[in-house]
Amino acid sequence: MQTLSRRQFHHLSLASALGLGLGGMRRALAANPNKTTKVALLLSGSIADGGWGQLAHEGIVALQSTPGFQAVFTENIGQAEIPQATRGYADDGYDLIIGHGYEYGSALLEIAPEYPDTKFFVSSFLPEPSVPSNIQYADLAYYDASYCAGALAALISEKRAAVGFVGGGDNPTQQRMLRAFVAGAERTVPGIKAAGIITGEYGNAARGRQAAATLIGNGADVIWHAANETGIGALQAAAAANVKALGCYADQTAIAPAVVGTSLRIELGEMVKTIAKSVADGSFGGGGEWHPAVDVIWSPVAGAAGDHNPKIISADAWQQFRAIWADVASGKLKVAGILDA
């Protein structure tokens, strides 16, 4: 029997969740060599942000070396520039346009009906119940991951007094991620307090350092972030204060190896490749929202140590975290129900 690596497993899981299935994936991988599928990735931030943008860009890079695909990207697109950038690629005949993030939800919804032969994908939540059949949204289990991060932060806290979250843009997704982090921490370790600072920025490491330093000054001895480059600053502040930290979006062990116990990596590169291949083989699932389980789209990683650093996270804490992770992934523990109660 063939053994699948974790990356291969995630790739096939993503394909199944998006409606490709193994057979569909094989058909996509063997796309008609005479047909080039053109893919454009739109990013509001940088491809060098250490996480959200970088990982999606890795999917584009992989497609650039895959026969049958032409893949490009534009980074640092301002909110007012989104319609122009999107229509530009659509007018140039691109088959798939990916708006990477919350900022693209409404703009691409408005533009999609103008280009019925173009497929659109937004890596954010469905903005309304009914959307055109050529656009797909995604609930990437942000809140489930945030709840689990809060639980782990509380479990590895030495003082069991406080843990902290540093957020990026001041939007409903980040606000709810903060609430999920707080719920995960405070429900897992009774008496611990969780707090967070939404900085309002994704690309400002100095703001991240300042926010984390404030949380640490208020007693937090574990820091998690969901803030791209701003979050890198938060990890740097944790390292400077010698308090534990958890990375986000990518494996961020190398940023602060002495304090980062694990990172919750989101499989955005595989997502980009899988969506592109679904367009290539005609199985694109537009008209709704994709709902991967947290263990399909996220995975804990810690560099050479594997999924966690045992010098920072004890075996008992990790075992408890994995039980919570499994309950959230299976739906036994419903984070949405907790947040909406």
Show me where the domains of the chain are located.
Answer: 6-138+267-297, 142-266+310-340
Alpha-carbon distances of 241 from 168, 223, 234, 262, 288, rounded to whole Å: 21, 11, 11, 18, 45
pLDDT in tens, 109-154: 999 999 999 999 999 999 999 999 999 999 999 999 999 999 999 9
Please tell me the pTM assigned to this model.
0.83
**Closest to 136 measured CA to CA, from 243, 283, 260:** 283
Q: Assess whether the region 6-138+267-297 and the region 142-266+310-340 belong to the same CATH fold.
A: yes
The predicted pLDDT at position 17 comes to: 52
| Distance between CA atoms of residues 191 and 182, nearest Å | 12
Alpha-carbon distances of 148 from 30, 48, 157, 249, rounded to whole Å: 38, 26, 14, 14
pLDDT in tens, 90-102: 999 999 999 999 9
The predicted pLDDT at position 49 comes to: 85
pLDDT at 14 over 80: no
Please list the residues that pair with 264 across neighbouring strands: 248, 300
The predicted pLDDT at position 282 comes to: 94
Q: Average pLDDT in the 62-85 region?
A: 97
pLDDT in tens, 264-311: 999 999 999 999 999 999 999 999 999 999 999 999 999 999 999 999
pLDDT at 26 over 60: no
pLDDT at 40 over 60: yes
Q: Which CATH number fits domain 6-138+267-297: 3.40.50.720, 1.10.10.10, 3.40.50.2300, 3.40.50.300?
A: 3.40.50.2300
The predicted pLDDT at position 213 comes to: 98
Confidence band of 182 (pLDDT split at 50, 70, 90): very high
Confidence band of 5 (pLDDT split at 50, 70, 90): very low
pLDDT in tens, 46-58: 999 888 999 999 9
| Distance between CA atoms of residues 301 and 247, nearest Å | 9
Following CA atoms 246, 293, 297, 174 in sequence, which dihedral angle do they give, to the nearest 10 degrees? -50
Alpha-carbon distances of 239 from 123, 222, 223, 259, 261, rounded to whole Å: 31, 11, 10, 6, 12
Q: Confirm or reject CATH 3.40.50.2300 for domain 142-266+310-340, answering yes or no.
A: yes
Please list the residues that pair with 260 across neighbouring strands: 245
Rg (CA), the chain: 20
The predicted pLDDT at position 33 comes to: 57
pLDDT in tens, 218-247: 999 999 999 999 999 999 999 999 999 999
Q: Average pLDDT in the 174-182 region?
A: 98
| 52 neighbors 45 (Cβ within 8 angstroms) | yes
